[in-house]
Amino acid sequence: MHDRQTVSLDSLRARRGDDTAGHVFLVLITGAVALAFLMVGAVGLDVVIEAWDILSNRLWDFLASPSSADSTKAGVVQGIRGSILIAVIVMLTFPIGIGAAVYLEEYADDTWLSRLIQVTVRNLAGVPSIVYGLLGLAVFVKGLDGLTGGRSVIAAGLAIAVLVLPVVIITAAEALRAVPTPLREGAYGLGATQWEVIRTQVIPAALPGILTGTVLGIARALGEAAPLLVIGAVGFYTTGNQDFVEQLRGAFTALPMNIANFARLPAETWRGHAAAASVVLLVLVFLINLVAIVVRARISKRLGR
């Protein structure tokens, strides 16, 4: 018996050692990852070099100054404010996406209707963002102008929220699906109801994955420019002196619009502004991802994973 086990282990090691295709595949995917990092690093380095003059000489002034036609005074404070407001509006809609995922995974029966909804959600995740801009223009700008104020940050936030909701639903559903079945069965065996199982066992276990989906949604919301162009975000001047409610319902801008507008200007002096605004947007997305990673790590540690 011992000799058979030894022969079996030796044969497994021999097969593992002769796995030429596996080694080739490992080399290929390692090269692909290295190439991707190299390309991203090259682009990031080029942007930082282009923006270095502004970042080193007037960083705080650039962050705190409003838009201006004078390149020596122009800043992105209004774009930062608009991007943060849009991100907040998008985050307020995340419970809808998470609730939809919970319903589809935990409550909905496996019928043709539920399968159709799931396929539709996955297809919506791949729709070009310009289409959501047209939807926002028709629904939130023109149809609900009495509520949103027309071409406003509320309309932009709602349009981008519709854009990222399919991503949130898909990632949340995958996280819920990955929760081990014995965890549910053990809770049911102790007499818990379905809602108690979902609330106390399933959602806490899936929370790290759900958080990943929300971070992806926020990152995409911060970087989208096409819906803002269609809805009517301005490139420079905003109603910065109005109160908060009037700012939500008035003209607005965001960092992607600042970048696009700086890049369109013909003067060479504005190229550094576009690069600097890009660095600000990247840092903002990085900080949001960093907060999410820390929160996810703490949740996973609390759950013992």
| 24-43 tens-digit pLDDT | 888 999 999 999 989 988 88
Nearest to 204 by CA among 106, 94, 302: 302
212, 292 Cβ separation under 8 angstroms: yes
Distance CA 155, CA 152 (A): 5
Nearest to 217 by CA among 32, 112, 87, 116: 87
In the predicted model, is pLDDT for residue 186 greater than 60? yes
More confident call, 208 vs 8: 208
pTM assigned to the model: 0.78
Distance CA 210, CA 218 (A): 13
Distance CA 291, CA 152 (A): 28
Query: What pLDDT band is residue 208 in, cutting at 50, 70 and 90?
Result: confident
More confident call, 206 vs 4: 206
Q: Per-residue pLDDT averaged across 4-29, rounded? A: 67
- CA–chain centroid gap for 137, Å, is 22
Distance CA 131, CA 13 (A): 54
Distance CA 100, CA 98 (A): 5
Tens digit of pLDDT for each residue in 275-293? 888 888 888 888 877 877 7
In the predicted model, is pLDDT for residue 183 greater than 50? yes
* Local structure of residue 150 (DSSP, 8 states): S
Tens digit of pLDDT for each residue in 101-142? 999 888 888 888 888 888 888 888 888 888 888 888 888 888
The most distant pair of C-alpha atoms in the chain lies apart, rounded to whole Å, by: 85
33, 264 Cβ separation under 8 angstroms: no
Distance CA 29, CA 9 (A): 28
Amino acid letter, 159? A
240, 78 Cβ separation under 8 angstroms: yes
Distance CA 69, CA 56 (A): 21
Q: Which residues of 19-28 are buried (b: 16+ CB within 10 A; e: fewer)?
A: eeeeeeeeee
